[in-house]
């Protein structure tokens, strides 16, 4: 006797026989079935023996429910390819604004969660757009990116894909870029050029990497001046470590665009202990470009760039043995160092004065030729502007710098 349950369809067939008989019970489970609220149900089975003596027996068969990994939503897997990666923020952008059934008991835990199908599907793979509602609130928008971040790189039956290289240039514009210890650097990231317009683009995903230094924090990418999407956009970053970040920038208006030039600005801070003369390489990996249907119309030609750590713009070419001097970082917190380059061994008198002209710190030491580092008493200083004077042993030359203590 099949149970009566809303949304379920039960049927049964009986094959009588002597000395045995059989029955088959089948049913269709509704797509919105939630094991959290229906962990099991019972089917009553009645067996009747027409022999002598006639007898009737009843049994209760328990059916335990569980999630279907294929059709259920896995929070963060927006495109239903069984893994969370750079493709998923792109599909959230493609489905932005779509609405449908909320997910019962929704959360961002990496587990299959049942949800009724929505009306829309992705053109490229026919996956229901309910998967893009990663947080289960019934609407696809930027809040779904939280589930992508929470479950990034996780997978169930493995999926995903990678793209190779092509003819459309993705590159760093190193014009007037100067790397120095302690300096915050901004590098334009460009897609296309004056001779290469990129047409019908909706979103881009790529891994951005810095090699040669190890910043204290992962790089960020700002899209304020982007031709691809400067506002109302999905701008998603997932730090792999402090030298690499997976980044997605995509529109949310379902309209393709065309252009060339800057799509973002890469921002990072060179470590204070970076060694002058070190080569730093900037590169891309696994670049993906899609249109508003999610189709990858473009292959990408990622171009690496290299720059060398130099002394910051500072006092250079001064008299005597003092070739250059700079404070790193400047402005500074409780740690600041002065980098000095000497052409020969010399005795230097270094003094720090406040805005009233009062000397608050002095030192007099002999330094060898080459690059030397002098630790300033930053932790002892109050916030303010200070003047630092470096003079040779006979005061025949000197250099003056401004130091800002925050």
47 contacts 116 by C-beta, under 8 angstroms: no
Length of the chain: 406
Within-domain flag for 103? no
354: helix, strand or coil: coil
- Judged against a pLDDT cut of 70, whether residue 342 lies above it is answered with yes
Asked if 175 and 300 sit in the same domain, the reply is yes
Closest CA to 278 of 229, 346, 355, 210: 210
What is the structure's pLDDT at 18?
78
Q: Is residue 234 in some structural domain?
A: yes
* 28 shares a domain with 52: yes
Question: Percentage of the chain with pLDDT > 90?
Answer: 44
Mean pLDDT of 252-277: 91
Any idea what the CATH number is for the domain that residue 275 is in? 2.60.40.680
Band (68; pLDDT cuts 50, 70, 90): low
- List the single range of 105-114, 280-289, 293-302 with lowest mean pLDDT: 293-302
- 212 within a domain of the structure (yes/no): yes
Residue 99 phi, psi (nearest 5): -130, 160
Q: pLDDT tens, 163-189?
A: 444 578 999 999 988 888 788 899 999
User: Which of 84-115 are b and which e, b meaning 16 or more Cβ less than 10 Å from the residue's Cβ?
Assistant: bbbbbbbbbbbbbebbbebbeebebebebbbb
Top-confidence range, 157-161, 247-251, 313-317, 385-389:
247-251
The DSSP annotation for 187-246 comes to EEEEESBTTB-EEEE-EEEEEEEEES---SS--EEE-TT-SS-SSSEEEEEEEEETTEEE
208-239 tens-digit pLDDT: 999 999 999 999 999 999 999 998 999 999 99
**What total of structural domains would you count in the chain?**
3
Give the pLDDT band of residue 147 (cuts 50, 70, 90): very high
Instruction: Pick from 27-31, 108-112, 264-268, 365-369 the range whose average pLDDT is largest.
Output: 264-268
Residue 189's contacts (CB-CB under 8 Å, 6 or more residues apart) are 170, 171, 172, 173, 208, 221, 262, 263, 264, 265, 266
Helix (H) or strand (E) holding 61, with range, is strand 55-64
Pairing between β-strand 279-290 and β-strand 203-211 as defined by DSSP bridges? antiparallel
In a domain, 105, yes or no: no
My answer on whether 353 and 272 are in the same domain is no
Instruction: Say whether both 255 and 282 belong to one domain.
Output: yes
Q: Which of 308, 328, 361 is the last residue of a domain?
A: 308
Is the omega angle on the peptide bond into residue 331 within 30 degrees of 0, that is, cis? yes
Tokens for 155, please give them.
Answer: 């997978």
Q: Give the residue-averaged pLDDT of 365-371.
A: 89
Residue at 1 is within a domain: no
Residues 251 and 177 in one domain: yes
Residues 304 and 333 placed together within one structural domain of the fold? no
Do 388 and 287 have their domain in common?
no
Residue 161 has pLDDT above 90, yes or no: no
On whether both 193 and 260 belong to a single domain, the answer is: yes
What's residue 345's pLDDT? 87
For residue 284, the cross-strand partners are 208
Domain of 320: which CATH number?
Answer: 2.60.40.1930
Average pLDDT score over residue span 112-137: 92
Backbone angles phi, psi at 173, to 5 degrees: -90, 105
Looking at the structure, do residues 302 and 321 belong to the same domain, yes or no?
no
Q: What is the pLDDT of residue 158?
A: 43
pLDDT confidence band for 201 (50 / 70 / 90): very high
Task: Report d(CA 98, CA 74) in Å as an integer.
Answer: 18
Which one of 285, 308, 331 terminates a domain?
308
Question: Same structural domain for residues 374 and 273?
Answer: no
For residue 246, what pLDDT is reported?
97
Please indicate, yes or no, whether residues 301 and 400 belong to a single structural domain of this protein: no
Direct distance between the N- and C-terminal alpha carbons of the chain, in angstroms, rounded to an integer: 79
Instruction: Flag whether pLDDT at 157 surpasses 60.
Output: no
pLDDT of amino acid 1: 67
**The pLDDT of residue 86 is above 70:** yes
* Residue 317 clears pLDDT 50, i.e. is over it: no
pLDDT at 49 over 90: no
Asked which of 308, 336, 358 is the last residue of a domain, the reply is: 308
Which domain does 238 fall in, by range?
165-308
pTM here?
0.66
**Half-sphere exposure of 234 toward its Cβ, with a 13 Å CA cutoff?**
34
Taking a C-beta distance cutoff of 8 angstroms, is the pair 360, 385 a contact? no
Residue 346 sits in the same domain as residue 377: yes
Q: What's the pLDDT score for residue 396?
A: 63
The mean pLDDT value of the chain amounts to 86
Q: How many CA atoms does the CB half-sphere of 127 hold within 13 Å?
A: 25
d(C-alpha 154, C-alpha 228), whole Å: 29
Asked whether the predicted pLDDT for residue 247 surpasses 50, the reply is yes
């Amino acid at each position: 006797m099949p149970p009566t349950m809303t949304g379920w369809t039960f049927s049964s067939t009986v094959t009588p026989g002597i000395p045995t008989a059989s029955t088959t019970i089948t049913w269709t489970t509704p797509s919105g079935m939630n094991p959290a609220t229906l962990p099991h149900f019972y089917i009553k089975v009645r067996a009747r023996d027409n022999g002598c003596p006639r007898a009737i027996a009843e049994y209760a068969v328990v059916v335990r429910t569980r999630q279907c990994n294929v059709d259920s939503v896995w929070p963060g897997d927006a495109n239903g390819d069984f893994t969370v990666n750079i493709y998923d923020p792109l599909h959230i952008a493609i489905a932005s604004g779509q609405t449908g059934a909320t997910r019962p008991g929704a959360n961002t835990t990496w587990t299959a969660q049942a949800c009724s199908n929505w009306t829309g599907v992705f053109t490229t793979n026919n996956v229901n757009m309910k998967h893009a509602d990663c947080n289960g609130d019934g609407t696809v928008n930027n809040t779904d990116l939280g589930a992508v971040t929470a479950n990034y790189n996780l997978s169930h039956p493995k999926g995903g894909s990678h793209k190779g290289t092509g003819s459309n240039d993705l590159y760093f514009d190193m014009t007037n870029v100067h790397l120095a210890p302690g300096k915050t650097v901004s590098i334009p990231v460009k897609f296309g050029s004056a001779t290469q317009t990129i047409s019908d683009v909706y979103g881009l995903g790529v891994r951005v990497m810095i090699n040669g230094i190890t910043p204290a924090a992962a790089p960020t990418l700002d899209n304020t001046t982007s031709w691809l999407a400067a506002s109302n956009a999905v701008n998603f970053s997932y730090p792999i470590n402090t030298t690499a970040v997976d980044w997605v920038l995509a529109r949310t208006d379902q309209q393709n665009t065309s252009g060339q030039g800057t799509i973002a600005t890469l921002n990072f801070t060179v470590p204070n202990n970076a060694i002058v003369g070190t080569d730093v390489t900037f590169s891309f990996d696994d670049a993906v470009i899609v249109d508003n249907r999610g189709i990858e119309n473009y292959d990408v030609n990622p171009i690496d760039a290299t720059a060398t750590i130099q002394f910051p713009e500072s006092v250079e070419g001064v008299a005597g043995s003092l070739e250059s001097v700079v404070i790193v970082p400047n402005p500074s917190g409780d740690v600041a160092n002065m980098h000095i380059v000497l052409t020969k061994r010399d005795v230097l008198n270094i003094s720090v004065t406040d805005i009233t002209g009062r000397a608050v710190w002095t030192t007099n030491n002999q330094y060898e030729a080459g690059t030397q580092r002098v630790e300033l008493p930053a932790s002892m200083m109050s916030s303010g502007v200070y003047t630092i004077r470096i003079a040779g042993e006979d005061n025949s030359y000197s250099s003056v710098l401004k130091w800002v203590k925050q």
